[in-house]
Chain A
Amino acid sequence: MYLIKKNDVKKIAKALEEKYTLYGPYLDEAFGQCFFDKVSADNIDLNAPIPANPPKHVVFPHLETIMQYKYDKNAKKADIAMVFDDVPKALFGLRSCDLTGLQCIDRFFLGQEFVDEVYRHHRSRMFIVANTCVVPFKQCFCVCTDSGPAAQEGYDLNLTDLGDSYLLEVGSEKGKAFIESFNFPKATQEHVTQKQKLVEKSITMFEDIATESKAWVSRVMNRVTTGFIKEEVWEYIGNQCIECGACSYVCPTCTCFNINDANTIAGNTERLRTWDSCSYEGYSRMAGGHNPRKPIEDRRNKRFFCKLSYSQSKKYLRPGCVGCGRCAWVCPGDIGLPNVVTYIRREIHE
């Protein structure tokens, strides 16, 4: 644990930049919005608001070639090769909700019977620097989903803005090895207490600042799991949805994908993996046209089952939602997760 000067943050980013492709939050001047993407150490902005996009695309790109092959029809010869991304990447300034989101995706792609090798390659050789939220944003509700505002685990380094300096915590052997050479001054117990106070204060601020969403999910999870939600509630929610897929795309934990083989002009074929969304009508439609999930509410409640059912969380050890509030931001039908939770809670209380 170290106490570092504000300017030292940039030093760390610069050092990482030499070994890794650097990703972090930066303020896009044109949009006036924060994005999380490839960035130079100079442009990282740790004070920028929560990025519009989660870091999911770094490990699970929107569109990625996972396999390549060439089939020579005359010679009857096929050459197949998996395509892996070995580039070392550093994620800098991850907020706790997004770090938890990444862990959700880890459990899903790596922690089950079949390990996704393509994902594993992205994820290995990765360095993670987290950033504690000392002030929440309007749409945040990580306190309701046990994913913030301070990261508990899964980082190599964690930064907390103590006002005039940063508390730098080490979370892994890799982080320790990396930071040792800097000879930063050690932090004291007092600084740790200071951080704890700041985090506690941050939590109390949700009441006043995080005003856009409150999503008290635990009772709702019980309700969703036991299936006692009235048809009308799902129907109402379904009717609000215009099937744009935006909620899935901005969600740090949504991972559904499609696979397509695309032929290139060069004569080989790329097996492409692309993001998909369970809200699309074609998602479950089978060859021949039969679609078991025809009614919109059948498709729409899938997303909320995935985020809010115990049977899901038993598999992945936590709810599928990390409280970032992005789906509420982007949904034109006003059925972001917090609203859905509210509709269901309202039904419980009626």
Chain B
Amino acid sequence: MSEQKIVTVPEIATIEEIKDEIVDVKTFYLRFDNKEIDGNFTFKSGQFIMCTVFGAGEFAVSLPPSPENDRFHITVRRIGKVTNALHDLQVGDKVGIRGPFGNGFPFEEIKGKNVIYVAGGIGLIPLRSSIVHVLQHRNDFGRILLLYGSRSPQDLMYQYMLEQWQKIEGFETFITVDNGTPEWKGNVGIITTLFDKVEIPVENTVAFVCGPPVMFNAVIKELMQRGIKDDMIISTLERHMKCGVGKCQHCAIGRTLVCTDGPVYTYRQIKTLGEQI
């Protein structure tokens, strides 16, 4: 299969299905109009694309599908000009896509290890691809855990997925919400409260962490205290992005560029960037 990288001119894709996730977040299933691209567009889990909403602009967005056999899609929170315009589109409308960009998750290096996912809110979007990949290659890994937290039950991402995941044997899922509702039967409390309730493997373990900066810092502290090494903590960083290919410099952080050197970094790298995350 030849790898297709779309660098300058966006390729046109059609929105085939739109799924409401939570308030202001929708998933858009896409298909490239150009059959050749559609068949050959490959990416690594952890990479991202630039998505053009015609007449509004372009924005960076993660690729939640597994690189192998998931339907191609993006999940987007409505937050500004371009994402608002995307949310106003309907099935059949077109968008433009450039990519894939960035480095991707280091799956080869983590083979044979236990994997812990810690996600907060829509931080589950960039991790989804990795989770699906690891579940598809279950035998390559040790224990697989997911610790996921959101503000309230209504803010839990990919609820249909979560239900499926909870049924998969050997996939240990733990879900919490900051504020419960009368119907909510699960754990209540911020995500770090899960750390005392779950038996967390430390030896031979890699942790994927993604969420808002406050949550990120608290989770890192918990993981480090338990003895998980800084180069075994993996995260994806977010920056304002314009070009995606290392030219506009908007995504510069310390000495690296998130669009070409990232977005996947280990915590050991993040510590040396010399900037806030």
A contact residues vs B (CB 8 Å cutoff): 67, 69, 71, 73, 76-78, 80-82, 108-109, 112-114, 116-117, 227, 255-261, 263, 269, 271, 276, 278, 283-288, 290, 292-294, 298, 302, 305, 309, 311-312
* Docked-complex contact B8 and A117, CB < 8 angstroms: yes
Q: Among B56, B80, B96, B248, point to the contact of A78 (Cβ < 8 A).
A: B96
Cα separation A271 to B53 with both chains bound (whole Å) = 12
The answer, yes or no, to whether B243 is at the interface (CB within 8 Å) is yes
The stretch from B141-149, B225-233, B269-277 touching chain A is: B269-277
Q: Is the interface of B mostly helix, strand, loop or mixed?
A: loop
**Minimum C-beta distance from A22 to chain B (A):** 28
Task: Check if B239 is an interface residue, CB within 8 A of chain A.
Answer: yes
Q: What is the CB-to-nearest-CB distance from A177 to chain B, in angstroms, rounded to a whole number?
A: 32
- Measured between beta carbons, the chain B residues less than 8 angstroms from A269 are 54-55
Are A261 and B250 in contact, with the CB atoms below 8 A? no
Chain B proximity of A67: nearest CB distance (Å): 7
Residues of B within 8 A of A286 (CB): 238-240
Contacts of A114 in B (CB 8 A): 7, 245-247
Tell whether, in the assembled complex, residue B57 and residue A278 are in contact, meaning their CB atoms are under 8 Å apart. no
Residues in chain B near residue A287, CB distance under 8 A: 59, 79-80, 83, 240
- Give complex CA distance A181, B198 in Å: 84
A286 to B59, CA, bound (A): 11
Inter-subunit contact B94/A259 (CB<8 Å): no
In the complex, 21 of the A-B residue pairs with CB atoms within 8 angstroms, ordered by the A residue number, are A69-B54, A69-B96, A71-B94, A76-B93, A76-B94, A80-B9, A114-B246, A114-B247, A255-B247, A255-B249, A256-B249, A258-B248, A258-B250, A259-B248, A260-B57, A263-B55, A276-B250, A284-B250, A286-B240, A287-B240, A298-B276
* Cα distance, A141 to B44, chains bound together (Å): 47
Judge if B133 is at the interface, Cβ distance under 8 Å: no
**Segment from B62-70, B107-115, B180-188, B252-260 that makes contact with A:** B252-260
**Is there contact, CB below 8 Å, between B253 and A276?**
no
Please report B residues at the A interface, Cβ cutoff 8 Å.
7-10, 12, 14, 52, 54-59, 79-80, 83, 92-94, 96, 212-213, 238-240, 242-243, 245-250, 252-253, 255, 260, 274-277
In the bound complex, CA of A276 to CA of B240 (Å): 13
Residues of A within 8 A of B10 (CB): 80
Cα A147 to Cα B255 with chains together (Å): 24
The closest CB in chain A to the CB of B213 belongs to A290
Asked if A292 meets B246 with Cβ closer than 8 Å, knowing A78-B94, A261-B57, A285-B240, the reply is no
* B260→A311 contact, CB < 8 A: no
CA distance A239 to B250 in the complex (A): 22
Query: Which residues of A lie under 8 Å from residue B80 when comparing CB positions?
Result: 287
Closest to B249 in A: A256
A269 vs B53: C-alpha distance when bound (angstroms): 11
* B255 A311 Cβ-Cβ under 8 A: yes
- The listed residue (A80, A81, A284, A309) touching B96 by CB distance below 8 A is A80
Asked whether A292 and B253 contact (CB < 8 A) given A80-B9, A114-B247, the answer is yes
Asked whether, in the complex, the Cβ of B240 is within 8 Å of the Cβ of A71, the reply is no
Chain A residues, Cβ within 8 Å of B59: 287
**Pair A276/B248 contact, Cβ less than 8 Å:** yes
Tell me the smallest distance from the CB of A131 to a CB of chain B, in Å. 30
Q: How far is the CA of A261 from the CA of B248 in the complex (A)?
A: 15
Chain B neighbourhood of A260, CB < 8 A: 57
Q: In whole Å, how far is B208's beta carbon from the nearest beta carbon of chain A? A: 21
Which chain A residues border B55 with CB–CB below 8 Å? Answer: 71, 261, 263, 269
Asked if B242 contacts A258 (CB within 8 A), the reply is yes
Q: Is the CB of A259 within 8 A of B243?
A: yes
Residues of chain A within 8 A (CB-CB) of B58 are: 259, 261, 271
A33 to chain B, nearest CB (A): 30
Is B8 within 8 A of A292, CB to CB? Answer: no
Most chain B CB within 10 A, of A271, A287, A305, is at A287
Are B54 and A71 closer than 8 Å at their CB atoms?
yes
Complex Cα–Cα for A263 and B56 (A): 8
Please give the distance in Å from B139's CB to the nearest CB on chain A: 35
- Whether A256 lies near B250 (C-beta < 8 A) is yes
By the criterion CB–CB under 8 Å, are A256 and B248 in contact?
yes
How far in angstroms is the closest Cβ of chain A from B276?
A: 4
B57 pairs with A73, CB closer than 8 A = no
Closest to B237 in A: A292
> Complex Cα distance A285/B276, Å?
12
Question: How far, in whole Å, are A309 and B253 apart by their CA atoms in the complex?
Answer: 14
In the bound assembly, the distance between CA atoms of A113 and B253 in angstroms comes to 19
CA distance A298 to B273 in the complex (A): 12
Chain A residues whose C-beta falls within 8 Å of the C-beta of B242 in the assembled complex: 257-259
Q: Return chain B residues, CB-CB under 8 Å to A112.
A: 246
Top 5 A-B pairs, shortest CB-CB distance = A71-B54, A114-B245, A261-B57, A292-B276, A287-B79
Q: Please measure, in the bound complex, the distance between the C-alpha atom of A260 and the C-alpha atom of B56, giving whole angstroms.
A: 8
Once bound together, how far apart are the Cα atoms of A283 and B238, in whole Å?
14
User: A116 near B276 (CB under 8 angstroms)?
Assistant: no
Cα–Cα distance between A118 and B212 once the two chains are bound (Å): 36
Do B56 and A261 have beta carbons less than 8 Å apart?
Answer: yes
Whose C-beta in chain B lies nearest to the C-beta of A115? B7
Contacts of B52 in A (CB 8 A): 261
Residue numbers in A under 8 Å from B96 (CB-CB): 69, 78, 80
Alpha-carbon distance A287/B52, docked complex (angstroms): 16
Roughly how many angstroms separate A339 CA and B243 CA in the complex, as a whole number? 32
B85 vs chain A, min Cβ distance (A): 10
- Is there an interface contact between B275 and A298, defined as CB atoms closer than 8 Å? yes
Of chain B, the residue at the smallest CB distance from A81 is B9
